[in-house]
Chain A
């Protein structure tokens, strides 16, 4: 069964430093998509970055990059030059084909605290 695992319930990082949030996944599909979302304390879900299973290059979006290691089934999020506004919950998610089409499942999340 498909599964997303985020093993870090909480992490601290100093402002302006880089931080890596871990995500591993399990799927038997060959075609799937991996996503990261941010949820600040206000509660809304914000899309950050996407990686397709057939993409050979790691995805990047500004200060966000996704370290995709397909053989290890990992899709870690790297945030460079952390800012205080990066303090939030971060969710890794995977989309694959379900019985009726595409469905997306989420990991339990990692809470990131950025220290000044």
Chain B
């Protein structure tokens, strides 16, 4: 295991509130990713990071921002949560290179009421 933890594991919040999800890894992996998983859509990439302070958008980045101030931590922020952001969020890491598989965290179940 790559030693990836996510916090919180479950969260219920109200529409309009800001929410921050944390991903922590102990493997010193360069790349980190945030995905959301919804029925019928599989995993969709929100943002990814290719180094400290280096991030890029994925396919569903609207309404989300990320930050990476340390190699081991990758934060996902919902600036103003909406019900459409109710989902399961997965963090993943990889050491880099086209052949390196991703290691996933356990996921965070977020419900926006």
Contact = CB atoms under 8 A, between A and B. Distances in A.
Interface of A: 6, 9, 31-33, 35, 37, 43-45, 47, 50, 52-53, 91, 93, 95-96, 98-109
Given A31-B98, A43-B106, A47-B101, A101 B40 contact: no
Contacts of B102: 35, 37, 45, 47, 93, 104
A36 to B, nearest CB: 10
Given A47-B102, A102-B50, 4 more contacts: A45-B90, A47-B103, A101-B48, A104-B102
B42 A106 contact: yes
Contacts of A37: 102
Contacts of B106: 43-44
Which of under 10, 10 to 19, 20 to 34, or 35 or more describes the interface residues of B?
A: 20 to 34
B22 interface: no
4 nearest A-B pairs in the assembled complex, by CB-CB distance: A101-B50, A45-B104, A33-B98, A108-B42
A110 to B, nearest CB: 10
Which of B43, B51, B92, B103 has most chain A Cβ within 10 Å? B43
Nearest to B96: A102
B48 A98 contact: yes
A23 to B, nearest CB: 11
Given A91-B42, A108-B41, A103 B48 contact: yes
Contacts of A100: 48, 50, 54-56
Contact of A103 (B56, B104, B107): B56
Given A100-B55, A100-B56, A101-B31, A32 B45 contact: no
A96 to B, nearest CB: 8
B56 A50 contact: no
Given A44-B104, A45-B104, A104-B33, A95 B45 contact: no
